Structure 1
């Protein structure tokens, strides 16, 4: 069964934190951050919840599709920073859209959440071609950043990206041609937020430790990320008989400009085909590809007739690729 992205949208907090702002908090510099990551600023929540950002992105996607919230039949929320363990964040997004009686579920594939959710939406549309699936990838990573750790606090930002997935071509009518999604848990220790889970339970009154925040072995993550995204993209192209010349644009998870450029180089893609907005938003985890796709649609970077390849990589480790036809 075909599945189409009928509308896209994104939302980020108004408050920005620049590299120069971070120079006042930790031992770092604008030059150090830009050289190693390409990031110049990030948007940081000031009291906005993951569900708040997600609901705003959802409204934008619905408007882009020319639909009202009542049309939505399913809500999928990709996040690793939910409002709470329970209730899940998808139900709170539904509540803020004044929706009741819909399936609403969270998915956690860390930074790969948007692509994992697109594939789940495809499955729902296959079961019921009349379904209208709201995919929201939303993160408030600032709530899990250790602002004393200069190796990680410079990387992350908050935001949400959303898409409306339907079984009938309407609105933007971007066809989801194919998806390849994979994982390998043996690398899970390289990028974690462990504190509070069943593996690291919290006792009442116990001080919050460093393991409640993002901890990462950046060097090893870089190597596995580049290798995994390159491989899955090559296999995606091969199984459709495509070469890099057949791609109009390439969108990788906006984690780090060096990673994005390294994957583009290994795929032999010209720089003008490699989309990047990490310099403005930082790493927004599950939201990053959704924000990139919505921003690129809004400014005309992506348009009718284009073939676009998305790829992602996240804690778990999870990774994957999705091929789109505009």
Structure 2
């Protein structure tokens, strides 16, 4: 195969919705304080559902939308930083529930850039001939790692999952997933932490904000350059849904006047590795992105790791 393309998308969010007013009953905060700082109104909270449950529900929808039988998938990759189970990993659990007999299956953890990392590794596997059709999932249960007395973090995060089915394209066909631009800044890795046996997330918010708003836009432009696409040609921009102020700042610096910018953070909060596929799937489902449109995906956050690539909308 000379490349790969996204065939179908799917997403899932648990039914319980936690509003800013609800949070004001738990911690010293209010709707205005939250919206002015991070732009979030609501987030979804999983009760009695695991990371694997969330991943499976999104994957099931993506596979159904693809029109393929699940048995034709030979690679399953799950991006997550909140899975509790070490073995079997989340990818293997999802594969078993979908009835995929013998896939390569692994989890990947680069936190908020996880889906873009997972998508790139699946694309590389197809290009190398190690797979022909892959299921790539971002799934997080961030509420498992929250300190509900810490208003600087508990107001930000939510739970959910998004998934994509990708397949190889042959000689002469244009790929639908372009080269990735990825890397990290380990010297600032302590800015976002989820560590220990009973972890809670902590972050140096100002450090992450400054890094994201000053360092990420040039990387986004490099991803466009590697795809051979000008920012003005982008039909969509789907960054990690970290914070509305960060999203708007990066979008302004990229200069993509025709792009639909994903702002799902307003309704879903920050869902880490799930945020990009979740937001992308919603835009496609609502018909806000046309089939074949060039869309820039851009993950960044914990690590501090980043990854971005241009894809063609299914």
TM interval, short-chain normalised: over 0.9
Give the Cα separation in 1 of the matches to 2:230 and 2:131: 34
Moved more, 226-235 or 248-257: 226-235
Given the superposition, is the C-alpha separation of residues 236 and 30 from structure 1 closer, same or farther in structure 2, using an over 3 Å criterion?
Answer: same
Give the Cα separation in 2 of the matches to 1:64 and 1:76: 18
Match of 1:47 in 2: 48
Question: Given that residues 229 and 321 in structure 1 are in contact (C-alpha distance below 8 angstroms), is that contact kept between their aligned partners in structure 2?
Answer: no
Pairing partner for 1:324 from 291, 311, 314: 311
2:18 aligned counterpart, secondary structure: strand
Match of 2:187 in 1: 186
Match of 2:250 in 1: 263
Question: Given that residues 5 and 312 in structure 2 are in contact (C-alpha distance below 8 angstroms), is that contact kept between their aligned partners in structure 1?
Answer: no
Match of 2:289 in 1: 302
Alignment deviations for residues 128-170 of structure 1 (CA, whole Å, 9 cap, x no partner): 276111111110010001111000000000000101110038x
State whether structure 2 residue 218 is matched by structure 1 residue 231.
yes
Question: Given that residues 227 and 310 in structure 2 are in contact (C-alpha distance below 8 angstroms), is that contact kept between their aligned partners in structure 1?
Answer: no
1:32 aligned counterpart, secondary structure: helix
Moved more, 91-100 or 148-157: 91-100
Deviation at 1:177?
2.0
2:107 aligned counterpart, secondary structure: strand
Taking the TM superposition and a 5 Å limit, the aligned residue runs for 1:158-307 are: 158-168=159-169, 175-196=176-197, 212-270=199-257, 273-307=260-294
Alignment deviations for residues 68-115 of structure 1 (CA, whole Å, 9 cap, x no partner): 211111111100011323331111112222333221111001011100
Deviation at 1:184?
1.7
Give the Cα separation in 1 of the matches to 2:257 and 2:19: 29
2:102 aligned counterpart, secondary structure: coil
- Alignment length, in residue pairs? 309
Q: Gaps (5+ residues) in structure 2?
A: none
Taking the TM superposition and a 5 Å limit, the aligned residue runs for 1:32-111 are: 32-111=33-112
Given the superposition, is the C-alpha separation of residues 310 and 110 from structure 1 closer, same or farther in structure 2, using an over 3 Å criterion?
Answer: same
Deviation at 1:174?
7.7
2:290 aligned counterpart, secondary structure: coil
Give the Cα separation in 2 of the matches to 1:111 and 1:233: 15
The RMSD of aligned alpha carbons is 1.8
Given the superposition, is the C-alpha separation of residues 130 and 94 from structure 1 closer, same or farther in structure 2, using an over 3 Å criterion?
Answer: closer
Question: Given that residues 138 and 273 in structure 2 are in contact (C-alpha distance below 8 angstroms), is that contact kept between their aligned partners in structure 1?
Answer: yes
1:134 aligned counterpart, secondary structure: strand
Given the superposition, is the C-alpha separation of residues 33 and 57 from structure 1 closer, same or farther in structure 2, using an over 3 Å criterion?
Answer: same
Given the superposition, is the C-alpha separation of residues 232 and 272 from structure 1 closer, same or farther in structure 2, using an over 3 Å criterion?
Answer: closer
